[in-house]
Amino acid sequence: MSEPTYKLSFYTIHTKLEDKKVMLVHGYTGAIDIASESLLSYLQSSKTLSSDEAPFSRETWDILVKRGYITQKSKEEEKQYIARMADALHRRNKLFNNFTIIPSYDCNFRCSYCIENIISEKGTGWSKKTFTKEMADKAFDAMTVINPHMEFKNKQILLYGGEPLLKENKEIVTYIVKKGYELGYKFKAITNGYEIEHFQDLLSSDMLYTLQITIDGNKFWHDQRRYHYSDGGTFDRIIKNVGIALEHGVGVGIRINTDKNNLESINELKQLFENLGYYNYKNLFSVHVGWLQDTEQESQKVDKNNNIQFFSFKELNIELKSRDIEVSDPSNNLFNNLYHAISRKTHITLNPTGCSAQSGAYVFGPEGYIYNCLEVVGRKEYILGDFSENHTINWDDENKNRWHSTHIATIPKCSNCKYALLCHGGCPLKTIENKINLTSCESFPILFNMAANKAYNSYLEEQANQKH
C-alpha cells in the first residue's frame, strides 16, 4: 500500500535565527520548535514529501506530522479548519468581559493628543458631562445585564477620561470606587497624575490599586507637552504624586511617549527616579517607553508646536538597545507568547481577535452611552448601546454586530494568512476605518522575526543561567 501524500502545511511559519537555526511555529496547532536549516530546506524542497526520502529519522518525521508542520490536508481544508477554530475561540472570548468607566470627559491638561479635543470639536457638549451617582448605579446594573456571572468578568475596572482623577470629581469617583469595591471589583486608572494627592483614601491595594501615568521625558520636554490649562508646567507635581501613590502600596507604571527630541532625557528621568528611591518599590514601580508612531492618525493628533520628531520602530529599537529600558512596542506581546512557549515547553497562545473590543469590552460614558474601544468614545457613529434607563440596555444591534461578528476568518485577507491566529488581524478600528495598520501585513513578518529572535536569545540566556 502506498504511503499517503504529505506536504508542507500552509500554516508552517519559519524564521531564521541568529545562530543559523530556524524557529518553526505552526499557525493553528500552536507548536513551536527550533530546527536546523537543513531540515527546513528539505521541507521546502518539494511539493510532496515522503518519510522514505527525508534526511532525518522516522521519529522526527512523526513529530513534524504530529505538530502540524507537514500535513495531508489541502490548503482549502486547512483554511476551513482554522475558520472553525477561530469561531470557537471567538465564542470563548465573548464569555469574558472587561469594563471601563469614564467619570467625565473633562481634563485639566491641554495636551494635543487627546480625545477631549475630538469631542469638543464635534460640539456635542459632552466634554462637561460627569457621572452622577444615579448613572453610576445604572452602569453597575448594566454590567450585570451584560454578564450576570462574576466569575467571567475581569474584576478590574479601568477609570479613563478625559482625566479620571480630577479633584472636582472626587465625590463621584469615590462613590464609583467604593460601590465597585462592595461588588467585588478593584480599579486601575490611566491618569495624568496631577491631582492624585486628593484621592489618597482610595489609593490602596484593594481599591484603586494601579495607575498608569505619562511623563514625557525630563522637566524641559514634559512641561512643553503636558501642561495644565492654568498652572502651566506639571512635571514637579506629578513626580511628587508618583511617590505618594507608591507609599500607599499602589502600582505605578510610567509611560514615556518617546520621539527623537525627548529620547536623550530618558536617562535623566530614570536617574531622578533612582535618586527618589522609586525603583526600590520593586513590584510596584515600572517605566516603559511608548513609541510615538507616525501614522496618519497620530499626525492628526500632534500639534506642530509640540515639535515632535517621530522615530521609525527600527530606529527606536536601535537607540534603546543599550539603555536598559523596556520598550512598549508592537512585538512585545508576540515576544512574551513565543518566549513562554519555548521556555515552558508548551504551545503558543492563539487568538482570532485583535482586541477585546471584538468580544467583551464595554466602556461606560457619563452621557449614558456604551462604547467598546477607548479610541471611539464620544463618537456617535460608534455608540454600542444606551444604559441610561433602569436595569436595561438599549443596544444598537448593527453597531454591536459590526464589531462582535468579526474575527480573522471573516476578514478576507486574514482568512488567507498563515500568521492570522498570531497577528489576530490587527486593530479592528483601523480595519473599519481603512487606516494604516502598522502592526499588520507588511510589517508583521518583520515583527515576527524580531520577536522570535528576542525570544530565542532570552531562552538561551535562561538556559545558560540555569547551568551556572
Contact pick of 68, 180, 378, 426 for ligand SF4 (by CB under 6 A): 426
Tell me if residue 96 falls in helix, strand or coil.
coil
Contact pick of 189, 423, 438, 450 for ligand SF4 (by CB under 6 A): 423
Contact pick of 106, 440, 451, 453 for ligand SF4 (by CB under 6 A): 440
Closer residue to ligand SF4 (CB): 311 or 403: 403
What 338-347 contacts at long range (C-beta under 8 Å, 24+ apart), as own/partner pairs, is 338/23, 338/25, 338/32, 338/451, 338/452, 338/455, 339/454, 339/455, 339/458, 339/459, 341/30, 341/32, 342/32, 342/34, 342/455, 342/456, 342/459, 343/458, 343/459, 343/462, 347/29, 347/30, 347/31, 347/32
Closer residue to ligand SF4 (CB): 13 or 427: 427
* Sequence-ordered alpha helix ranges (H) in 321-379: 332-344
* Sequence-ordered alpha helix ranges (H) in 47-169: 58-66, 75-94, 115-121, 133-146
The stretch among 160-168, 297-305, 388-396, 426-434 that binds ligand SF4 (CB under 6 A) is 426-434
Does 438 sit near ligand SF4 (CB under 6 A)? no
The nearest distance, CB 443 to ligand SF4, in angstroms, is 8
> Residue written as cell 457613529?
381
Does 414 sit near ligand SF4 (CB under 6 A)? yes
Does 425 sit near ligand SF4 (CB under 6 A)? yes
By CB under 6 A, what part of segment 359-378 binds ligand SF4?
A: 373, 375
- Window 307-346: contact mask with ligand SF4 (x via CB under 6 A): ----------------------------------------
The nearest distance, CB 315 to ligand SF4, in angstroms, is 22
Distance CA 396, CA 415 (A): 27
Closer residue to ligand SF4 (CB): 18 or 398: 398
Rounded to 10°, the helix 170-183/133-146 angle is 30
The nearest distance, CB 258 to ligand SF4, in angstroms, is 19
Report helix, strand and coil shares of the chain as percent, to nearest 5: 45, 15, 40
Tell me if residue 15 falls in helix, strand or coil.
strand
Does 113 sit near ligand SF4 (CB under 6 A)? no
The nearest distance, CB 442 to ligand SF4, in angstroms, is 8
The nearest distance, CB 228 to ligand SF4, in angstroms, is 27
Given its phi and psi angles, is residue 441 left (phi above 0), alpha (psi -120 to 50 degrees) or beta?
left
Residue 155: DSSP 8-state: S
Closer residue to ligand SF4 (CB): 80 or 343: 80
Name the residues that contact ligand SF4, by CB under 6 A: 354-355, 357, 373, 375, 408, 413-414, 417, 419-420, 423, 425-429, 440-441, 444
